[in-house]
């Protein structure tokens, strides 16, 4: 008698149910739904867990198939391509040891232990082998091993980094993936064969310490990217080329804005006159905007006694990021944040509920210990200035204050022309404060976001150690995201520092504290601005707004007079009296991204005016000096 095979119910995303023989794979489920779906399937969800198409379904389950139209698909493609790259490297350079190969925004990387850095010639060879493996459609299969089995396997292969990872995981079982002779430790999921990995490109390489620890071995990291369509890859590569041209480190040097000198120390910025002027303009703008919104300007010291940092929790939760020094046997901490001084200002006198909210604003310079390997121009430094503010308010005022900050951020981002996204980051493992306080703070931020109607994403476990936060990530002209503004809600530090106010009932109550920045690190924001505008700042931000250019030395005296008129009118002007051809002077001014070039020759001198020329190359008709000043000032007012 023939044995009847058992069947399971497969519930689809739309609620429909199909029957499937127990033990069949997710691919079989996709085929049962439709052969066309199976053809484009990459992976899927079974009862909410993302799995490979080879996953066996033994019981009733909810199933959702991932295709190239799914949001998750590109990440799977890129992760699988990282493995494809590692396979190619191992085949070409068998003595190489493999480390880790995760996906990142817009691509992936893989770290390798090799004797020498990869060269452009190596990239060509690796990409060629990857294409060969793609054409072979090598099957990619998942296996589950006990940790002991996996450790033995990778020891036999000489893959010591994988052995270390498995030992640190301390799990009973782990999953590995095989594609041909290549074996990797990975949770997956992956595409079924290398034949799904057609469009890719290796883009750069760099050194990277194993596990980010500068005391461990330096590995070689290859960055790459992958897409479904060649047109998408071409567009991405175009953006990468554009990003190279806009690199703030390159432009910062060419435009004489800043330098970072190894004689001074890594991650410490030296601002040159033009860069210092740019900073001044931003900081002046910030001060005016904060004063308009009811903030008080304050300044705190750079050093505070270690006892203060212990009281705040920074010593236990943040000291690896801090610098310390001793003065007359007393230990001090160089401030990594400005909040402690602001709390002491609040605590300097008795506060009434009628005094609240108190909004303290400081352009506070802080220092944080960043590892050398992560320092990057102005984007990641050790000494930087924050547009930092701390708002102390009653619980009843909290929602309005958070909404006011969100509106402040929105106004500023719109003025600079930035789109932005919001994330709500929750309690990390390393934190202080009660569960109740964290829940109250998180709920307050959530309510504020929802009351504004703005979309946001949850970012679990990435809050500050003292409270949850809203992170605002701006998008630049190349669609890159930068973390700048943040709003943190804190019930814990007011408790630790015993901050109080006298309520309407005559009793003492505890205020809530909001930590917030609008631009964030001034250094990072300037780095973003440089790349966003490609160094061509709008007139209101340009360190030099206009430059006076003479046709010949015959007009020097008149040019000096015009220059002085511009300076007296508050225009940030320069003058070029060199004995060079006018075309040469114009080209140099354009390279320096000066918004206006004011040409002076015989015609201009006789008319008592100048011939303005924009950095775009547009030539304007001859204008009086007064008209030119009004033209520049009108441009400044537009702030764009």
Number of neighbours of residue 120 by Cβ within 10 angstroms: 8
Do you know the residue count of the chain? 640
Q: For all residues of the chain together, what is the average pLDDT?
A: 94
Predicted confidence (pLDDT) per residue in 98-112, tens digit = 999 999 988 999 999
Domain assignment present for residue 107? The answer is yes
State whether 550 and 525 are in the same domain: no
Among the listed residues 326, 362, 325, 327, the one whose alpha carbon sits nearest the alpha carbon of residue 342: 362
State whether 370 and 512 are in the same domain: yes
Predicted confidence (pLDDT) per residue in 519-544, tens digit = 999 999 999 999 999 999 999 999 99
Pairing of strands 323-327, 330-334: antiparallel
User: What pLDDT, on the 0 to 100 scale, is given for residue 1?
Assistant: 41
Q: Alpha carbon of 631 to those of 564, 573, 593, 597, 609: distances in Å?
A: 17, 14, 18, 13, 13
State whether 471 and 610 are in the same domain: no
342 is catalytic: no
State whether 111 and 172 are in the same domain: yes
Domain assignment present for residue 198? The answer is yes
Predicted confidence (pLDDT) per residue in 260-310, tens digit = 998 999 999 999 999 999 999 999 999 999 999 999 999 999 999 999 999
Looking at the structure of the chain, the number of domains it has is 4
Residues 558, 552 contacting (CB under 8 angstroms) = no
Q: What is the CATH number of the domain that holds 47?
A: 3.10.20.30
Say if residue 189 is preceded by a cis peptide, omega within 30 of 0.
Answer: yes
- Residue at a domain's end among 67, 89, 106: 67
The 10 Å CB-count burial string (b at 16+, else e) for 461-482 is eebbbbbbbbbbbbebeeebeb
Predicted confidence (pLDDT) per residue in 118-172, tens digit = 999 999 999 999 999 999 999 999 999 999 999 999 999 999 999 999 999 989 9
> Is the predicted pLDDT of residue 4 greater than 60, yes or no?
no
Distance (Å, whole) CA 322 – CA 574: 42
State whether 322 and 447 are in the same domain: yes
Exactly one of 129, 351, 380, 469 is catalytic; which is it?
469
Number of neighbours of residue 274 by Cβ within 10 angstroms: 19
Among the listed residues 630, 608, 620, 614, the one whose alpha carbon sits nearest the alpha carbon of residue 561: 608
Predicted confidence (pLDDT) per residue in 449-508, tens digit = 998 888 899 988 888 888 899 999 999 888 888 989 999 999 899 999 999 999 999 999
In this structure, of 143-147, 157-161, 204-208, 352-356, the range with the lowest mean pLDDT score is: 204-208
Exactly one of 186, 339, 393, 489 is catalytic; which is it?
339
Among the listed residues 63, 22, 24, 65, the one whose alpha carbon sits nearest the alpha carbon of residue 43: 65
Structure confidence at residue 2 as a pLDDT band (50, 70, 90): very low
User: What pLDDT, on the 0 to 100 scale, is given for residue 453?
Assistant: 86
Domain assignment present for residue 121? The answer is yes
Exactly one of 386, 397, 488, 545 is catalytic; which is it?
386
Distance (Å, whole) CA 546 – CA 538: 12
Exactly one of 201, 351, 515, 516 is catalytic; which is it?
515
488 is catalytic: no
Residues 202-229 have a mean pLDDT of 91
Exactly one of 78, 367, 368, 572 is catalytic; which is it?
368
Q: What percent of the chain has pLDDT over 90?
A: 84
484 is catalytic: no
String of DSSP letters for 267-334 = T--EE-HHHHHHHHHHHHHHHHHHHHTT-EE----SEEEHHHHHHHTHHHHHGGG-EEEEETTEEEEE
> Is the predicted pLDDT of residue 614 greater than 90, yes or no?
yes
State whether 116 and 182 are in the same domain: yes
368 is catalytic: yes
State whether 432 and 493 are in the same domain: yes
Domain assignment present for residue 241? The answer is no
Residues 228-234 have a mean pLDDT of 95
Domain assignment present for residue 395? The answer is yes
339 is catalytic: yes
Exactly one of 190, 342, 359, 390 is catalytic; which is it?
390
- Residue at a domain's end among 17, 42, 67: 67
Q: What is the CATH number of the domain that holds 118?
A: 3.30.980.10
19 is catalytic: no
Which range of residues forms the domain containing residue 569?
Answer: 546-638
Domain assignment present for residue 246? The answer is no
Exactly one of 184, 387, 388, 437 is catalytic; which is it?
388
Q: What is the CATH number of the domain that holds 620?
A: 3.40.50.800
Predicted confidence (pLDDT) per residue in 491-504, tens digit = 899 999 999 999 99
State whether 365 and 458 are in the same domain: yes
316 is catalytic: no
């Amino acid at each position: 008698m023939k044995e009847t095979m058992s069947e399971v119910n497969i519930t689809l995303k739309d609620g429909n149910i199909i029957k499937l023989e127990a033990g069949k794979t997710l691919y079989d489920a996709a085929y049962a739904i439709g052969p066309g779906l199976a053809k484009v399937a990459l992976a899927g969800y079974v009862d909410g867990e993302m799995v490979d198409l080879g996953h066996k379904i033994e019981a009733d389950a909810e199933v959702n198939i991932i295709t190239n139209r799914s949001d998750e698909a590109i990440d799977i493609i890129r992760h699988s391509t990282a493995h494809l790259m590692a396979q190619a490297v191992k085949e070409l350079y068998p003595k190489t040891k493999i480390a880790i190969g995760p996906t990142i925004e817009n691509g992936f990387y893989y770290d390798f232990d090799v004797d020498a850095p990869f060269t452009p010639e190596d990239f060509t060879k690796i990409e060629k082998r990857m294409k060969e493996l793609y054409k072979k459609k090598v099957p990619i299969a998942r296996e589950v091993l006990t940790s002991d089995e996996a450790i033995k396997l990778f020891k036999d292969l000489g893959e010591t980094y994988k052995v270390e990872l498995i030992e640190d995981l301390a799990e009973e079982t782990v999953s590995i993936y095989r594609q041909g002779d290549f074996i990797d430790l990975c949770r997956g999921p992956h595409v079924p064969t290398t034949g799904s990995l057609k469009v890719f490109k290796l883009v750069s390489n760099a050194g990277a310490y194993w596990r980010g620890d500068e005391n461990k071995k330096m590995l070689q990291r290859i960055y790459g990217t992958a897409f479904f369509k060649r047109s998408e890859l071409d567009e991405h590569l175009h953006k990468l080329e554009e990003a190279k041209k806009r690199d703030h480190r390159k432009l910062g040097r060419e435009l004489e804005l800043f330098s970072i000198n190894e004689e001074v120390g890594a991650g410490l910025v030296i601002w040159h006159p033009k860069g210092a002027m740019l900073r001044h303009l931003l900081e002046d703008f910030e001060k005016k905007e904060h004063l308009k919104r009811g903030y008080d300007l304050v300044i705190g010291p750079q050093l505070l006694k270690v006892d203060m940092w212990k009281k705040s929790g920074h010593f236990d939760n943040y000291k690896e990021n801090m610098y310390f020094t001793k003065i007359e046997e007393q230990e001090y901490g160089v401030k990594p944040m400005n909040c402690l001084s602001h709390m002491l200002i609040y605590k300097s006198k008795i506060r009434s509920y009628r005094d609240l909210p108190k909004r303290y604003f400081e352009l506070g310079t802080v220092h944080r210990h960043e590892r050398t390997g992560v320092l990057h121009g102005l984007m990641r430094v050790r000494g930087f200035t924050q547009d930092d503010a701390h708002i102390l308010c009653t619980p009843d005022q909290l929602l309005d204050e958070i909404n006011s900050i969100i509106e402040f951020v929105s106004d500023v981002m719109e003025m600079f022309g930035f789109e932005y996204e919001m994330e709500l980051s929750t309690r990390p493992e390393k934190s202080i404060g009660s569960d109740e306080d964290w829940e109250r703070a998180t709920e307050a931020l959530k309510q504020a976001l929802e009351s504004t109607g703005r979309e946001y994403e949850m970012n679990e476990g990435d809050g500050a150690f003292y409270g949850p936060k809203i992170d605002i990530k701006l998008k630049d002209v190349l669609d890159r995201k930068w973390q700048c503004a943040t709003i943190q809600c804190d019930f814990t530090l007011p408790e630790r520092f015993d901050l109080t106010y006298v309520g309407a009932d005559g009793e003492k109550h505890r205020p809530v504290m909001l930590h917030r920045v609008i631009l964030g690190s001034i250094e990072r924001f300037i780095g973003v601005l440089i790349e966003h505008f490609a160094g061509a700042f709008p007139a209101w931000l340009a360190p030099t707004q206009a430059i006076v250019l003479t046709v010949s030395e015959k007009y020097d005296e008149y040019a000096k007079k015009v220059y002085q008129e511009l300076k007296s009118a508050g225009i940030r002007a320069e003058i070029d009296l060199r004995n060079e051809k006018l075309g040469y002077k114009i080209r140099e001014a354009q390279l320096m991204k000066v918004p206006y070039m004011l040409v002076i020759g015989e015609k201009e001198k006789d008319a008592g005016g100048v011939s303005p020329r924009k950095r775009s190359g547009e030539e304007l008709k001859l204008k009086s000096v007064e008209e030119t000043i009004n033209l520049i000032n009108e441009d400044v007012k537009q702030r764009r």
